[in-house]
Amino acid sequence: MRSPTRHNTALSLSALIAGVVALFVLAGTALALSPLPRSDYTVRAACGAPSPGRASCLALQLVPRSAEAQAHTHPLAAAAPIGGPASAASEGAFGLTPGDLHTAYQLPDKTTGEQTIALVDAYNDPTAESDLRSYDRELGLPPCTSANGCFKKVNQRGETTNLPFPRTSAELEASEGPMAEEAEGWGGEISLDIEAAHATCQNCKILLVEASSPEYEDLEKAEHAAVQLGATEISNSWGGPELGETPAIESASQFNRPGIVITASAGDDGYLEWAAQAPSREPSFPASSPHVVAVGGTRLTTAGTGAWQSEKVWNDGGESNGKKDGYGAGGGGCSEVFEAQPWQRGVADWSEVGCGLKRAVSDVAADADPYSGLAVYYTSRECESEHEGQIVHWCTYGGTSLASPIVASTYALAGGAHGVSYPAKTLYENTTAHPASLHDIASGSNGECLKPFNTKTGVSGCTSSEEAEASCSSKAICLSRLGFDGPSGVGTPHGIVAFELPSTEGGPSEAEILKKEEAERQEEAQRREEGKSEEEAERREEAERQEQLEREERKRLEEAGERSSGGKTISSNGLVAQPSSPSPAPAPAPASTTVASGPATPQISSLALTVRALFALNTTRPRATQVAFAFTLNTATHVRISLAKRVRAHGHTRWQVTRYSLTISAGSGRIGRHLTGRGALSPGFYRLTATPTHGAARSIYFQIG
């Protein structure tokens, strides 16, 4: 854990200033207050450094240390200015509000489709839902509760019962030792995650998945539960060293989930974790996974209207009195294990990044500096203060723990993954197609500072050039520049266009797309009809064989003069009901192909809606559970079922994946299933896709209304 700097500060001048402010207020004079200097605060890490096999949460709490800062009368750095002393979270006294986020990044506050954002964390936060309720009430957000179906909390197996330690706040209060301290730190992380997600996408569903411990095995089980419960976006505000990871292990992990947006925080200790008390000298995992969207950290500055003014790479690290100190820095670096995806290696001047063929962290970035952090409600002694005679639990959190849920929720605002296997690719493509859709961060570095940390100003004692020269030979992996760079990736959000499906000029027209889809539907309909004809022929042949067997049995009994014998009974119509000896087995069908050695490649055939589903879907708003289907699978495997709806946005037609997707474990043969979920399907054109693991996808199309 980073040790915060503590000073015995003379408070007489601060107290005098606070008194003058109070006099102006009592006199009815509106006094516009500027944010206090950074040196009036310090930073506390919510979780300690991770031990081998475990991850650490990456939330950083901004802690006031002067009298003025403790009075919470000044808005924080990036919070929208106000006309008088701040006092409440809604006035910027504790950091960014939802309105500040939306104004700065030009985001809508709601998505047009149904999206579920999962936050994967460790331990249980007993007050998570009540804290979210207090957050919503203070900041004017629509309620998100378990009662209205917006909020859900489960354990790593997806169960709403048997939650991890601590079960109650009283149990946490009564507990002592490292585990209790760790659980309380993760509680702050949980409040930050769910409140940042709800602040960014205010009509998205929030799914909190709590792992039993910060061990990677438990966190990956929680990741799996999020997928199984239909999450469209998953945010991971935690990480640890790459130690022990291999491409094969990672490829089989829960982070390789094509079609789902998975974001991961890049870390809070700078380039290759140099600012950590025990530097690992490698980027944080799972952010270094080539299958996730790695999110770096920036320092956000807003104008007088709250609009975006500037951003630079966040770096407040350094040394003081011979030990690591400072307020943190956005993580990143070149992976030692994983190669970069083609879309990352395809950026302009990739050779200048300095990673060769290896993965560069990050892909994208967002605000992470605790000094420009988010106001968070968390029932904890660490966040306790008095406001208008009442005890409240507001505090300020930052770190890339804030950046990850912001980016995951921005994807949700844009409609999710849109069927793209790895949504990070969308960002890189839109950087070229729509350069203005992201803020290009071209200032700052997350490299190591070899000079003392400046406790008077609260900032690094180095210039960006000095940091980068000492750390990465001034390569773009630790030094920001125009275009892609390691600390900020392709940039920070500027609206949601960068997170939507890219539109390429010169590509197929809408008429051509629709014509192709219609041809695919007709081809699929023909295949279904052929499949039905084959199945009907097989049923007729089987019926004829059974009838022949029954005729032979009756003839044999009649010749023997036996109408009943040995427990054998002939029904009134002459059919054998209980033969005393097994009937001759039908002759096996001749093999048409030779079975190859080794495991078979999974193949799906005869995918079709059931007759009952076809009738049910011929109504105004059928339920998702009425979408029943069947298919034939040649070998046992897992099959991902996804339902997408064709929508039109910004003049382009695209497929928007709904929340009714699921993964099933299926054996070989004929499989029948139906979608899950309580929602109703609105009129429109839909695509149902079945994708077996390591096999080709097969789709069918249908229309409602």
Is the pLDDT score of 580 beyond 60? no
| Residue 88 confidence (pLDDT) above 70 | yes
Cα–Cα distances in angstroms (integers) from residue 473 to residues 11, 208, 332, 477, in the given order? 43, 41, 15, 10
Which of 364, 382, 374, 349 minimizes the C-alpha distance to 4? Answer: 382
Q: How far apart are CA 163 and CA 211, in angstroms?
A: 9
- Find out whether 120 and 160 touch, Cβ atoms under 8 Å: no
Residue 675 has pLDDT above 50, yes or no: yes
Whether the domain at 12-311+327-434 and the domain at 601-705 fall into the same CATH topology: no
Mean pLDDT of 600-627: 82
- Please determine, looking at this structure, whether the domain spanning 12-311+327-434 carries the CATH number 3.40.50.10320: no
Reduce the DSSP state of residue 180 to 3 states and report it: helix
Extract the tokens encoding 692. 């077996």
| Helix, strand, coil share of the chain (percent; to 5) | 30, 25, 45
Name all contacts of 8-16 with Cβ < 8 Å and 24+ positions apart. Answer: 9/65, 9/66, 11/66, 11/67, 14/66, 14/67, 14/68, 15/67
pLDDT digits (tens, 9 = 90+) for 482-511: 999 999 999 999 999 999 998 644 444 444
DSSP code per residue over 493-527: ESSSGGGSPP--TTS--HHHHHHHHHHHHHHHHHH
Determine which of 320-324, 375-379, 451-455 has the lowest per-residue pLDDT on average. Answer: 320-324
Task: Name the β-bridge partners of 45.
Answer: 60
Averaging pLDDT over each range in 246-260, 303-317, 616-630, which range is the top one? 246-260
**Span 601-705: which CATH code?**
2.60.40.2550
What does the radius of gyration of the chain's CA atoms come to, in whole angstroms? 30
At residue 26, does pLDDT exceed 80? no
**Mean pLDDT taken over the chain:** 84
- Any idea what the Cα angle at residue 143 is, between residues 142 and 148, rounded to 5°? 120
Instruction: Give domain limits for the chain.
Output: 12-311+327-434, 601-705
pTM: 0.70
Among 100, 106, 103, 104, which Cα is nearest to 498's? 106
Residue 656: partners with Cβ closer than 8 Å, 6 or more residues away: 113, 415, 416, 418, 644, 645, 646, 647
* pLDDT reading at 601 higher than 50: yes
**Band of the pLDDT at 292, cuts 50, 70, 90?**
very high
Across 175-194, average pLDDT = 96
* Contacts with 689 (C-beta within 8 Å, 6 or more apart), sequence order: 640, 641, 642, 643, 644, 697, 698, 699
Contact 244, 55 (CB under 8 A): no
Give the pLDDT band of residue 32 (cuts 50, 70, 90). Answer: low
pLDDT digits (tens, 9 = 90+) for 551-564: 666 676 666 654 44
Residue where the block lists tokens 């967002």: 366
The residues that bridge with 122 in the sheet, in sequence order, are 211
The predicted structure's pLDDT at residue 86: 85
